Amino acid sequence: MSPARLVVLASGGGRTLENLQQRIVDGRLDARIVLVVVPRADLGAAERAQRLGLSLLVIGKRNQPDPERRERLLLQAVLEARPDWVVLAGWLSLFAIPPQLEGRVLNIHPALLPDFGGKGYYGRRVHEAVASSGLAYSGCTVHFADAAYDRGPVVLQSAVLLAMEDDADAIAAKVFAAEIEAFPEALAHLIAGRAQWVDGAVRWTA
């Protein structure tokens, strides 16, 4: 069986992208990243994709200011890559999922959804909100993406304990350490068919 084809949409530094590629190179993830899309050429994710020798496209507000054309070009590029899975690795825009990709788009959120999720909750904003809450735990959530921010069915979650003195930066470091394991683990389960999207929910098999 051929490795699963991944398209990665990344808006940040690209650490998640590089982590997935490292798992692939190490043989721990039966996949191949066939395309990386970033909204700006000056992002760390673009530099990492180039350094890793991955196919890269830049589609964003700067080079495609018309939103309808931008969305059309993005969907065209993703579909032409024939992905088995689309991975949102810090992608900050709401990805308009076409019917043929329903149940095949994954996102990772840096908190335990449904807490601290939804529009406007991303990156450091999430960790600042967790720090202000006084909770003794946080974590990450791998979930299927759908038509709303952070609302799709959950594949898996990984919790981390927090110390009273943890600020947003300390929380971010702990959560990202969990993300490094959680995202490839979720992908591996899905690629192997142990977890599946069925009628808008996640079904696990033995």
Active site residues: 109
- Using an 8 Å Cβ cutoff, are 62 and 84 in contact? no
Residue 169, number of CB atoms within 10 A of its CB: 12
* HSE-CB of 53 using CA atoms within 13 angstroms: 3
Q: In what order do the strands lie in the sheet with 154-161?
A: 56-58, 31-38, 4-10, 85-89, 105-109, 137-144, 154-161
- Using an 8 Å Cβ cutoff, are 86 and 78 in contact? yes
Q: Which amino acid is at 187?
A: L
CA-wise closest residue to 88 among 112, 110, 66 = 110
Q: What is the DSSP string of 165-199?
A: T--HHHHHHHHHHHHHHHHHHHHHHHHHTSEEEET
